[in-house]
């Protein structure tokens, strides 16, 4: 069996499951944030919310989910469209450059979230 | 968005400055676009989960599902507009 070297978990079946589990975590997180922002938010209540340990953990879970979800989603797009078949010999170079940029950005986002949430 | 989260938690002054920035007309349009796109993506994703459960996998079901997602996404976009302005 040939395994893919740049997919998130190296197998499609587990990428499929991770994509769905992370989607539920992200949906729950964004619904919570939207609900909070719909009411009247002031600095005190907003800061109090992020002082709870469960909110810090939930935020970190959402950041990790976003990283995995984006990796899997963009891997699908890049390996479908940024290929030798679609773009000629340059396809592989362009695809790997895009994947490298995306993965560096995602790691940076996760670190940034950790810094923000555990700093204040 | 992470920059906004950072500013919203850093201090009361930066929270108020952020409120000012995000309520400007251009920022509202960007927020509306982002929220509407995320709603559409979430609804389309939910349709995928429903189809994973084996519901609506026929040609007819696919068309109905896609139309339902478009309709709900349009309602969500309108709702974000009302909420923001």
Residues B67-81: tens digit of each pLDDT: 999 999 999 999 999
What Cα–Cα distance (Å) separates residue A6 from each residue in A31, A53, B64?
A: 31, 34, 35
Chain A residues in contact with B12 (beta carbon < 8 A): 43
- Cα angle B55-A66-A107, degrees, rounded to a multiple of 5: 150
Structural domains in chain A, CATH included, are 12-119 (1.20.1300.10)
Euclidean distance between CA atoms B7 and B15, whole angstroms: 6
Is there a contact between A65 and A26 (Cβ–Cβ < 8 Å)?
yes
Of B9, B35, B83, the CB nearest to A50: B9
Give which of A116, A117, A119 to mutate to test B binding, by max B Cβ within 10 Å.
Answer: A116
Q: How confident is the model at residue A68 (pLDDT cuts 50, 70, 90)?
A: very high
Q: How confident is the model at residue A54 (pLDDT cuts 50, 70, 90)?
A: very high
Q: How confident is the model at residue A2 (pLDDT cuts 50, 70, 90)?
A: low
ipTM for the predicted complex: 0.89
Of B12, B16, B83, the CB nearest to A38: B83
3-class SS of residue B63: helix
Euclidean distance between CA atoms A27 and A31, whole angstroms: 6
3-class SS of residue A13: helix
What are the tens digits of pLDDT across the range B36-48? 999 999 999 999 9
How many cross-chain Cβ pairs, A to B, lie less than 8 Å apart? Answer: 33
Q: Could you tell me the pTM of the whole model?
A: 0.91
Question: Which residues, including other chains, have CB under 8 Å from residue B3's CB and lie 6 or more apart?
Answer: none
């Amino acid at each position: 069996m040939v395994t893919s070297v740049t997919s998130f978990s190296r197998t499609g079946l587990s990428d499929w499951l991770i994509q769905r589990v992370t989607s539920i975590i992200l949906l729950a997180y964004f619904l919570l944030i939207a609900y909070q922002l719909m009411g009247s938010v002031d600095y005190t209540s907003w800061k109090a919310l992020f002082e709870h340990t469960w909110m810090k953990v939930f935020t970190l879970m959402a950041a990790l989910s976003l990283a995995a979800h984006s990796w899997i989603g963009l891997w699908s797009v890049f390996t479908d469209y940024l290929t030798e078949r679609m773009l000629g010999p340059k396809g592989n170079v362009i695809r790997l450059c895009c994947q490298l940029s995306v993965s560096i950005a995602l790691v940076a986002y996760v670190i940034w979230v950790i810094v923000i949430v555990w700093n204040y | 968005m992470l920059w906004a989260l950072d500013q919203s938690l850093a201090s009361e002054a930066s929270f108020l400055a952020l409120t000012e920035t995000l309520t400007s007309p251009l920022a509202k349009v960007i927020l509306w676009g982002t929220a509407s796109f995320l709603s559409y993506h979430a609804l389309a994703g939910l349709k995928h989960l429903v189809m994973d459960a084996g519901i609506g996998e026929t040609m007819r079901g696919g068309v109905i599902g896609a139309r339902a997602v478009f309709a709900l996404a349009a309602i969500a976009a309108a709702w974000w507009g009302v909420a923001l302005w």
